[in-house]
């Protein structure tokens, strides 16, 4: 089952589709209002895109600098080629520290690597502490959005979940009360955790520090108590200097949720201070992960996608995402950016995704770092066709179409014949021949003459 089928199922629920579309459009509108407050919005996009372009040209140098500075500050840096190596490194760290309980703040990278199931299989309890992420974790499903993981759920569904999982009264669906219950439940887990795992929004080469942005403060709490902090960072998430953070932090929250700034913008550099209660000293580990990123970097057509700061604005604006839901994509990251990233990870599995797009271009215009998303999706289509990921019959049909469209005589004869037949068939037959086009749309009335025929006739009449 691919995007087409899952999207059809989603759309079949008209009321829910309306709700989903409107919820996300509301976030898009908030983003628009936030962009309105900055007269320099477009210049800021230029600046951020410029920094990213520079960074992507010298990743090795910047990460070496980062490693140097971070190590000097007392952190330990690890390098992971792929998801498996990343999971192995994290597990090894937890094992050697005898950790059985971990709290994790939101990180799409660890989702991508499948860290939770890997650790759970080794008997380690992982609790996602971002509320939305916690909700989808309890439901044993994937996030449907990269910054609002449970955006596909209505509050009643969350009430039911909490009733089952945390014993809240049946029918309780008040967001404040549910949040309070989740906070209490999470608080105990924060206190019991022996390690905290976080993602990284931006790593800074010159300082060896990194920034984690949250609205819930869960990354801070999750790393302030345990002695072990493991931060997992994708290869693309580095900026040269601390000054370079400014345009990104200004763009990120505004693009993501319409906030002027995220509630918590936390900078980490060294292991946290020893609390003096005895026990081993606190440790900070940074795991730098490639997992296909260097492959994307080597593809001139797609490398700019590595500039993505995971704000989610392209999902919120995408008319297809809003009407098909994040789960319809079947990839870790859904929506336009996900459809660009996924085929590079697994072309056979995700060959359909670049076609889950009407090429409207809204994503490219909303993107704070100017990734030309819809043009990349178009490019993916031809890359995937050339590498044998399009059905043969489909390709043959287009070869025939190209032949007709390149030969004036053939075009003329084929279209005359086509219209002649279409004008004589009963409309219910035509509807059947129209295939998916006529499932919801009436065919246009077929004119007796084409433009060229009508023009010739007119010029004969009044030369």
- By CB under 8 A, the residues from 284 to 323 that bind other proteins are 317, 319-320, 323
Stretch that binds other proteins, among 63-71, 97-105, 128-136, 430-438 (CB under 8 A): 430-438
Smallest distance from other proteins to CB 393, Å: 13
Is residue 401 at the binding interface for other proteins, with CB under 8 A as the rule?
yes
User: Cα–chain-centroid distance for residue 12?
Assistant: 24
- Judged by CB under 8 A, the residue of 195, 203, 287, 356 near other proteins is 356
Stretch that binds other proteins, among 91-99, 119-127, 245-253, 395-403 (CB under 8 A): 395-403
Q: Which of residues 36-55 bind other proteins (CB under 8 A)?
A: 36, 38-39, 41-42
Residue 400's contacts (CB-CB under 8 Å, 6 or more residues apart) are: none
- Judged by CB under 8 A, the residue of 276, 279, 436, 463 near other proteins is 436
- Give the integer Cα–Cα distance in Å for 334 and 173: 27
Smallest distance from other proteins to CB 326, Å: 14
What would the two tokens of residue 163 be? 């009733």
Query: Whose Cβ is closer to other proteins: residue 39's or residue 60's?
Result: 39
Is residue 432 at the binding interface for other proteins, with CB under 8 A as the rule?
no
- Going from the C-alpha of 19 to that of each of 221, 300, 325, 326, the distances in angstroms are 34, 39, 11, 14
- Give the integer Cα–Cα distance in Å for 247 and 406: 49
On the 0-12 / 13-18 / 19+ scale of CB atoms within 10 A, 269 is: middle
Smallest distance from other proteins to CB 454, Å: 5
- Going from the C-alpha of 405 to that of each of 413, 420, 443, the distances in angstroms are 11, 19, 22
Given the DSSP bridges, would you call strands 264-268 and 283-289 parallel, antiparallel or unpaired? unpaired
- Judged by CB under 8 A, the residue of 23, 73, 242, 446 near other proteins is 446
Stretch that binds other proteins, among 48-56, 126-134, 300-308, 374-382 (CB under 8 A): 374-382
Query: Whose Cβ is closer to other proteins: residue 193's or residue 318's?
Result: 318
Q: From the CB of residue 338, how many other CB atoms can be counted at a distance below 10 Å?
A: 25
Calculate the dihedral angle through the C-alpha atoms of 1, 148, 55, 244, rounding to the nearest 10 degrees.
170
Q: Which of residues 144-203 bind other proteins (CB under 8 A)?
A: none
Is residue 405 at the binding interface for other proteins, with CB under 8 A as the rule?
yes
Stretch that binds other proteins, among 98-106, 270-278, 342-350, 440-448 (CB under 8 A): 440-448
Stretch that binds other proteins, among 152-160, 257-265, 291-299, 385-393 (CB under 8 A): 385-393
Smallest distance from other proteins to CB 408, Å: 3
Is residue 21 at the binding interface for other proteins, with CB under 8 A as the rule?
yes
Residue 107 sits at the vertex; the CA angle it makes with 101 and 108, to the nearest 5 degrees, is 130
Query: What is the sign, positive or negative, of the torsion defined by CA atoms of 454, 455, 460, 463?
Result: positive
Smallest distance from other proteins to CB 257, Å: 16
Identify any residues that bridge with 232 across adjacent strands, giving them in sequence order: 287
Q: Which of residues 336-355 bind other proteins (CB under 8 A)?
A: 354-355
Given the DSSP bridges, would you call strands 264-268 and 101-104 parallel, antiparallel or unpaired? unpaired
Smallest distance from other proteins to CB 373, Å: 12
3-state secondary structure (DSSP) of residue 376: helix
Smallest distance from other proteins to CB 41, Å: 4
């Amino acid at each position: 089952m691919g995007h087409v089928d899952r999207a059809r199922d989603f759309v079949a629920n008209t009321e829910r589709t309306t709700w989903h579309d409107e919820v996300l459009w509301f976030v898009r509108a908030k983003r628009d209002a936030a962009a309105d407050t900055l007269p320099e919005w477009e210049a800021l996009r230029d600046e951020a895109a410029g920094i990213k372009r520079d960074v992507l040209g010298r990743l090795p140098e910047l990460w070496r600098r980062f490693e140097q500075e971070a190590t000097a500050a007392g952190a330990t840096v690890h390098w992971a080629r792929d998801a498996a190596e990343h999971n192995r490194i994290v597990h090894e760290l937890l094992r050697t520290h005898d950790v059985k309980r971990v709290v994790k703040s939101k990180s799409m990278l660890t989702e991508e690597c499948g860290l939770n199931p890997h650790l759970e299989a080794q008997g380690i309890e992982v609790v996602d502490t971002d509320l939305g992420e916690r909700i989808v974790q309890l439901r044993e499903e994937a996030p449907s959005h990269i910054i609002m993981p449970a955006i596909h759920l209505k509050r009643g569904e969350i009430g039911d979940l909490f009733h089952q999982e945390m014993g809240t009264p049946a029918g309780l669906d008040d967001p404040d009360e549910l949040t309070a219950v989740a906070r209490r439940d999470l608080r105990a887990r924060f206190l019991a955790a022996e390690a905290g795992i976080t993602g990284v929004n931006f790593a800074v080469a010159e300082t060896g520090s990194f920034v984690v942005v949250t609205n819930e403060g869960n990354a801070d709490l999750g790393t302030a108590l345990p002695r072990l902090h493991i931060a997992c960072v994708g290869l693309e998430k580095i900026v040269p200097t601390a000054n370079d953070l400014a345009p990104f932090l200004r763009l990120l929250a505004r693009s993501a949720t319409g906030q002027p700034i995220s509630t918590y913008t936390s900078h980490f550099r060294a292991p946290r201070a020893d609390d003096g209660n005895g026990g081993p000293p606190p440790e900070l580990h940074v795991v730098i992960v490639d997992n296909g990123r260097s492959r994307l970097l080597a593809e001139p057509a797609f490398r700019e996608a590595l500039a993505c700061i995971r704000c989610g604005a392209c999902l919120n604006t995408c008319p297809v995402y809003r009407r098909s839901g994040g789960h319809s994509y079947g990839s870790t990251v859904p929506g336009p950016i996900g459809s660009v990233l996924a085929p590079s990870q697994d072309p056979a599995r995700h060959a359909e995704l670049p076609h889950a797009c009407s090429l409207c271009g809204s994503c490219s215009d909303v993107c704070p770092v100017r990734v030309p998303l819809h043009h990349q999706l178009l490019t993916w289509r031809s890359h995937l066709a050339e590498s044998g990921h399009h059905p043969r019959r489909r390709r043959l049909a287009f070869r025939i179409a190209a032949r007709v469209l390149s030969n004036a005589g053939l075009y003329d004869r084929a279209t005359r014949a086509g219209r002649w037949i279409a004008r004589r068939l009963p409309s219910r037959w035509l509807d059947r021949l129209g295939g998916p086009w006529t499932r919801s749309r009436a065919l246009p009335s077929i004119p007796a003459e084409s433009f060229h025929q009508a023009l010739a006739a007119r010029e004969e009449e009044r030369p």
